[in-house]
């Protein structure tokens, strides 16, 4: 590996003065070593060492330009007009905050698909010129403009998965996706614990179900880890899905590995598989939604009262339509391995329901139902319903820690006494 350009310039700077003061014989020796080290042509090396550090004048585009050989020129100031000015940045940041801090790839898709609705909202006050720039903005530009605002948002999580009983040996381990599992209807399941860094007692959980093919996501609040709640949530999700439930895949937690859920899947002709222990990537699709859909929404607070449980249900009732009909998601198409490097190819971001509309495997009746539901939803009104329910949930969480919340006559009831 040869020298870098910076190293060659530093070497030239040291040798040039000594070269010009040397005798003819010494110059030949210096020149030989310099050419071997830098791989320069001998004629170029002679000219470079003789002129290094000297002031010269040269005609460039008909204009005489004076410069010093070897000294970097001052960069020219570019007087280019800023395309995405402060008004565009302000509108973009407002939309980014309103729609749950999405990444640039997802946010620009949402803005372009709903720009007319967003322009009509007085809350955003988006002018026509700003709207045109928002629609023409690339995902990379959106991320660059929001970079400093995004750096302040950092979240962490922890795992509470407890192994199921020996019954897990009756449930096959899934280590790869077959072709059939890439069809709509195969869901990955996982739970998110809302214990607030205190795992004692009972607290709420969130059951996350994600369709592998489309990214369709259903969220259900659970009062605790009891098998019955997971069973009832799976039944409710199956009735809500716009496509038939063909299979579910979970981790090895005891809330999934139980006879109640296993018998239901067998009687309903639903394939039930599980991932390998200590391999989170086996459930990568649902693990992503745990972060984007759950933790970014309700955070890491402890929810352990009946009021919080019921309000958490309302939060997910309004959030799921946003996730499935408006919020774009990115899907991995293939991985190309070149030696030790892996290149990932993704399809264009789009909401899950659009993937279902584009699929020839989904019936026309289901597609008409999806179009009808999408037409009945208003993205801004749906987001406001979600924001109100989320604000109510966080208000309950704050109030329960106040002294007056524990006085006689208080409406705060713990889940352990109510479920």
DSSP string, 84-141: S-HHHHHHHHHHHHHTTS--HHHHHHHHHHTHHHHHT-TTT---HHHHHHHHH--HHH
User: What is the token pair recorded at 356?
Assistant: 């279902």
Cα–Cα distance for residue pair 211/352, rounded to 1 Å: 9
Report which of residues 136 and 58 the model is more confident about: 136
| Dihedrals phi, psi of 69, to nearest 5 degrees | -65, 125
CA atoms within 13 A on the CB side of 134: 30
Give the mean pLDDT of 375-379: 95
Structure-token match 């946010």, residue found? 107
Cα–Cα distance for residue pair 65/68, rounded to 1 Å: 10
Cα–Cα distance for residue pair 9/37, rounded to 1 Å: 12
Q: What is the pLDDT of residue 177?
A: 57
Average pLDDT, the chain: 86
Task: Find out whether 275 and 183 touch, Cβ atoms under 8 Å.
Answer: no
- Whether residue 43 is predicted with pLDDT greater than 60 in this model: the reply is yes
Segment holding 380, helix H or strand E: helix 379-399
Q: How far is CA 195 from CA 163, 200, 221, 252, 296, in A?
A: 18, 8, 13, 20, 16
Per-residue pLDDT tens over the stretch 314-366: 999 999 999 999 999 988 888 898 888 989 898 899 999 999 999 998 999 99
Lowest-pLDDT range of 33-37, 262-266, 359-363, 411-415: 411-415
Report which of residues 45 and 415 the model is more confident about: 45
pTM: 0.71
- Whether residue 66 is predicted with pLDDT greater than 60 in this model: the reply is yes
Q: How far from chain centre, in Å, is Cα 119?
A: 26
Give the mean pLDDT of 370-385: 95
């Amino acid at each position: 590996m040869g020298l870098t350009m910076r190293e060659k310039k530093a070497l030239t700077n040291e040798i040039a003065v000594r070269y010009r003061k040397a005798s003819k014989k010494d110059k030949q020796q210096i020149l030989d070593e310099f050419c071997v080290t830098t791989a320069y042509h001998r004629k170029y090396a002679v000219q470079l060492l003789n002129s290094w550090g000297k002031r010269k004048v040269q005609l460039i585009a008909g204009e005489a330009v004076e410069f010093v050989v070897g000294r970097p020129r001052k960069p020219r100031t570019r007087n280019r007009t800023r395309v995405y000015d402060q008004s565009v940045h302000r509108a973009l940041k407002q939309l980014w905050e309103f729609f749950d801090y999405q990444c640039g790839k997802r946010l620009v898709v949402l803005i372009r698909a709903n720009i007319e609705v967003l322009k009509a909202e007085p809350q955003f006050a988006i002018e026509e010129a700003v709207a045109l720039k928002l629609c023409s903005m690339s995902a990379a530009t959106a991320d660059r403009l929001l970079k400093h605002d995004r750096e302040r948002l950092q979240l962490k999580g922890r795992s509470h998965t407890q192994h199921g009983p020996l019954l897990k040996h009756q449930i096959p381990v899934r280590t790869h996706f077959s072709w059939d599992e890439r069809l709509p209807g195969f869901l990955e399941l996982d739970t998110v614990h809302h214990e607030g860094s205190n795992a004692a007692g009972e607290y709420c959980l969130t059951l996350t179900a994600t369709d592998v093919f489309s990214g369709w996501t259903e969220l259900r609040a659970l009062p605790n880890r009891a098998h019955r709640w997971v069973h009832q949530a799976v039944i409710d999700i199956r009735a809500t899905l716009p496509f038939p439930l063909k299979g579910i895949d979970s981790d090895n937690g005891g809330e999934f590995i139980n006879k109640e859920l296993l018998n239901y899947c067998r009687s309903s002709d639903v394939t039930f598989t599980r991932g390998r222990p200590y391999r989170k990537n086996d459930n990568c699709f649902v693990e992503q939604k745990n972060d984007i859909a759950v933790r970014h929404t309700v955070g890491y607070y402890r929810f352990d009262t009946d009021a919080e449980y019921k309000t958490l249900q309302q939060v997910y009732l309004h959030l799921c339509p946003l996730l499935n009909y408006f919020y774009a998601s990115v899907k991995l198409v293939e991985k190309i391995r070149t030696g030790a490097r892996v290149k990932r190819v993704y399809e264009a971001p789009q909401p899950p329901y659009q993937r279902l509309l584009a699929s020839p495997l989904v019936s026309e009746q289901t597609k008409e139902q999806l179009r009808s539901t999408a037409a009945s939803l208003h993205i801004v009104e749906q987001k406001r319903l979600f924001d109100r329910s989320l604000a109510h949930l966080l208000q309950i969480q704050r109030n329960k820690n106040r002294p007056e919340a524990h006085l006689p006559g208080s409406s705060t009831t713990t889940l352990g006494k109510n479920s």
